[in-house]
């Protein structure tokens, strides 16, 4: 509660498509790379955040504790990074305010890397968020946290197999004791500086959807190449994601974005 919480500046301007980092309350000074922490509720994101930044964002063992995003920074190998602790979300379908906040940040603030923190003791449920995040950006590092708890419960995670299956770097950590954090930072730094290029193996959908996606994607390519992942936008348009549709159609006064503004104002 002590001044590390920053409100996200989701004002009417920032709902435009050219949303940039300043509108997510990022200082322009220094051009520090921005790293986002995403993950299901109660997977230890805030503990990891504190361990990395030395800040004291309040942690607590209950889901939904981080309602806002906290922001801090840390140094690794002589380079300074900004770190954003996103609210816990089970998915990026944007059904809750937390999910919307997380999705908008990953999508429009375009962080230089996203660390998706997953709970080693219930990997399966946590993986769906990873799969969704890597549809938006390829710069994803999976942090299999609570590995100590998993060991106690006799659950072994084969990080190598997981990494191959996802096409993403995977690091096992125990944020509470600091285990694996250095390795995590090494990997994140390599991803940020382009020395490691994850090649996510994206989810394949039924043929009917894939066909529609490729048709739509072709048309989207000319519009936001490099700004938004066109496959992801195509999928959202196809499933009629109300927020996305209204958002892209420029109808900024409707839908959930209003709700976010109301909550975070």
Residue 4 in the binding site for another protein (CB under 8 A): no
Residues 6+ apart with CB under 8 A from 240: none
Cα–Cα distance, 70 to 45 (Å, whole number): 11
* 123-136 and 230-238 helices, crossing angle to 10°: 110
The footprint of another protein on this chain (CB under 8 A) covers a number of residues equal to 71
Which residue of 73, 76, 93, 179 would you call a contact of another protein, by CB under 8 A?
Answer: 93
- Rg of the Cα trace of the chain? 18
| Minimal distance, residue 188 CB to another protein, in Å | 21
Residue 258 in the binding site for another protein (CB under 8 A): no
Which residue of 8, 220, 228, 257 would you call a contact of another protein, by CB under 8 A?
Answer: 220
Comparison of 32 and 229: residue with beta carbon closer to another protein = 229
Cα–Cα distance, 90 to 100 (Å, whole number): 11
**CA torsion angle 240 244 250 256 (round to 10):** 110
Cα–Cα distance, 117 to 94 (Å, whole number): 18
Residues 6+ apart with CB under 8 A from 226: none
Comparison of 77 and 124: residue with beta carbon closer to another protein = 124
Residue 218 in the binding site for another protein (CB under 8 A): no
Burial call 205-239: b when 16+ CB within 10 Å, e when fewer: eeeeeeeebeebbeebeeeeeeebbbbbbbbbbee
| Minimal distance, residue 79 CB to another protein, in Å | 28
Which residue of 36, 133, 166, 187 would you call a contact of another protein, by CB under 8 A?
Answer: 166
| Minimal distance, residue 113 CB to another protein, in Å | 21
Residue 216 in the binding site for another protein (CB under 8 A): yes
Closest CA to 71 of 17, 13, 130, 9: 9
Residue 145 in the binding site for another protein (CB under 8 A): no
Q: Which of residues 41-70 bind another protein (CB under 8 A)?
A: 41-42, 56, 58-64, 67-68
Comparison of 79 and 223: residue with beta carbon closer to another protein = 223
Lay out the site mask for another protein across 97-136 (x = CB under 8 A, - = otherwise).
x-----------------------x-xxx-xx-xxx----
């Amino acid at each position: 509660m002590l001044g590390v919480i920053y409100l996200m500046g989701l004002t009417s301007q920032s709902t435009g498509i050219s949303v940039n980092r300043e509108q997510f309350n990022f200082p322009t000074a220094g051009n520090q790379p921005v790293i986002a922490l995403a993950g299901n509720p109660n997977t230890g994101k805030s503990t990891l955040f504190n361990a990395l930044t030395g800040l004291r964002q309040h942690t607590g063992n209950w889901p939904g504790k981080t309602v806002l995003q906290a922001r801090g920074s840390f140094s690794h190998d002589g380079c300074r990074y900004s770190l954003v602790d996103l609210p816990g979300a089970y998915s990026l379908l944007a059904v809750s305010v937390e999910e919307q906040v997380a999705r908008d940040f990953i999508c429009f603030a375009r962080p230089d890397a996203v660390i998706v923190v997953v709970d080693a003791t219930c990997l399966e449920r946590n993986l769906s968020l990873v799969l969704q995040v890597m549809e938006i950006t390829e710069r994803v590092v999976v942090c299999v946290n609570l590995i100590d708890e998993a060991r106690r419960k006799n659950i072994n995670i084969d990080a190598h197999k997981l990494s191959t299956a996802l096409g993403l770097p995977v690091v096992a950590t125990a944020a509470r004791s600091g285990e694996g954090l250095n390795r995590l930072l090494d990997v994140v730094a390599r991803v940020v500086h382009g020395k490691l290029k994850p090649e996510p193996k994206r989810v394949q959908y039924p043929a009917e959807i894939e066909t529609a996606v490729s048709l739509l994607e072709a048309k989207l390519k000319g519009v936001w190449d490099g700004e938004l992942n066109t496959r992801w936008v195509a999928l959202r348009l196809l499933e009629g994601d109300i927020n996305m549709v209204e958002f892209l159609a420029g109808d900024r006064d409707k839908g959930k974005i209003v709700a976010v503004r109301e909550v975070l104002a």
